[in-house]
Structure 1
Amino acid sequence: MNNLFDINSIFFTVLGYPMSYLEFFGTVTGAVATWLSARAHIVSWPVGMVSVVLFTFLFYQIQLYPDMFLQVFFFVTNALGWWQWTHPKTGEEDRRNELKITPLSTQNFWVLMGVGAVSTALFGAIAENLHEWFPVMFSQPSAYPYLDSFTSVMSIIATFLLIRKKLECWYVWLLVDLISTYMYFTKGVKVLGIEYGFYCLIAFVGAWHWTREYRSYTPTTA
């Protein structure tokens, strides 16, 4: 195997599209982790940790810097989610003695959306100027600084909702995945774009499965 962490190290070519080791293995492990999350399976967290390491290298090489920084966050939150799901507080456990699915209150939902809007404006402005402030590290300008920042910020929010097993996380993920599909196709990482299109379907499955499980026991709004 050539250098796994170099996007120019090609694994195979399909229909004229050169598939790097980095994109292939990052995509596969990410898809598996997301599907397991939709099924509320605890193994989703360690598999996700492998995926985010690979994507950190990929996003740096295609100048999606907010996404690159986001992967560091994801690594930490995957470890946190793994702990949260397996160590619920008294009264928060389900039949498997894991964290129970609950919905957000309406007030908390809109507070999070407001935080998302303000954070997008802030991080978008930073991303837009990274190549000027740190030209040695970021030789190219950030692609889609505000749109990429929006998906990054909302991914952070969705991840915290996922860690706490909040039902609304899947609707936030759906919005993020739709926008990400567009960005990745336009940046030329087509397989990753296809994966995020698949994630849109997984978001529907996750919403359906989590809603069904939530209705199977007495819910508590938090």
Structure 2
Amino acid sequence: MVKQLFDINHIFFTAMGYDMSYIEFFGVFFGLIAVWLSARAHILSWPVGIVNVILAFVLYYQIQLYPDMFLQVFFFITNIIGWWRWLNPSSEEEDKKKQLKVSYMGWKQFLLVFTVCIAGTFILGSLASQLHHWFAEVFPLPSAYPYIDSFITVMSIATTFLMIEKKIESWVIWIIVDVVATILYYVKGVKFYSFEYLVFTALATYGLYNWIREYRTYKLA
């Protein structure tokens, strides 16, 4: 029964002609909650995110989005790191809740990070496109859209580190990633995940606004 719940072909319900699997539904459910909590700068975003990445890992393997699958391992680790970092700021970094403050990284650093990520996208995309040749038993089918998928992976890695440090610019990258992912997942046929990332785009926009607003309260204080 547990194995069936993790199978993308085990249907939870059908809506408007679309078959919704258990793993896709609950992956989206926990993902939306995690991002909403992040936009609110709430510490529970990290443990909820851990549940989301476990479900996403299994789903991405089944639809051959291998870079996205590997990305979930990174997310699992960084959710633990982020959880600890937000709860353990230095005295200069803490806000009124005794948690890490939001802050800016600066546009020069932001552009440098973005440029390095573009280079990383081409490197990872080249590797992902060969996985079915190198490890045919593990990856029997070729990676789907390896460069677009790698762009999502590399950018997500970079902005997660920025999120751990509560850098406001992290939301700018998330908006870009979420728009690309919305299109990719729709094309791959996991339409509820596509809808999730469309909502993520809106939540990331709200997160950017909310974190800027919180930063301004520090200056007023």
> What is the alpha-carbon distance in structure 1 between the residues aligned to residue 109 and residue 204 of structure 2?
21
- Mapped partners of 2:209, 2:114: distance in 1: 22
Name the residue aligned to 2:143.
142
Bigger mean CA offset, 88-97 vs 57-66? 88-97
Q: Superposition RMSD on alpha carbons, in Å?
A: 1.1
Task: Please give the alpha-carbon distance, in whole angstroms, between the structure 2 residues aligned to 1:15 and 1:110.
Answer: 43
Aligned partner of residue 162 in structure 1, secondary structure: helix
Does 2:53 align with 1:52? Answer: yes
Paired residue type of 1:76: I
Are 2:55 and 1:19 equivalent residues in the alignment?
no
Q: Which residue in the other structure is 1:76 paired with?
A: 77
1:1-222 matches, cutoff 5 A: 3-218=4-219
Structure 1 runs of 4+ off > 6 angstroms?
none
Q: 1:13: Cα distance to partner?
A: 0.8
Task: Write the distance in 2 (CA, Å) between the matches of 1:9 and 1:182.
Answer: 24
Following superposition, the deviation at residue 90 of structure 1 comes to 2.3
- What secondary structure is seen at the aligned counterpart in 2 of 1:19? strand
- Show CA shifts across 1:24-58 (max 9, x none): 00000000000000000000000000000000000
Q: SS of 2:129's equivalent?
A: helix
Q: Which amino acid aligns with 1:83?
A: W
CA distance in 1, matches of 2:219, 2:89: 16
Cα displacement (A) at 1:5: 1.0
- Which residue type is aligned with residue 93 of structure 2? E
What's the % identity of the aligned pairs? 53
How many residues get paired?
A: 219
Give the Cα separation in 2 of the matches to 1:52 and 1:104: 27
Q: What code does the residue aligned with 1:218 have? A: K
User: Offset at 1:16?
Assistant: 1.1
The amino acid across from 2:206 in the alignment is V
* Distance apart, 1:106 and its partner CA: 2.6
Distance 2:91 2:77 in 1: 24
Distance between the aligned counterparts of 2:205 and 2:66, measured in 1?
A: 28
CA distance in 2, matches of 1:46, 1:4: 21
**Structure 2 gaps, min length 5:** none
1:136 counterpart letter in structure 2:
E
Q: Secondary structure at the match of 1:6?
A: coil
TM-score by length of 1: 0.96
1:185 is displaced (CA, Å) by 0.3
Structure 1: how far apart are the matches of 2:133 and 2:174?
32
Instruction: State how far apart, in whole Å, the 2-side matches of 1:111 and 1:90 are.
Output: 29
Instruction: Structure 1 unaligned segments of length 5 or more: list them.
Output: none
DSSP 3-state at the match of 1:12: strand
The letter for the 1-side match of 2:27 is: G
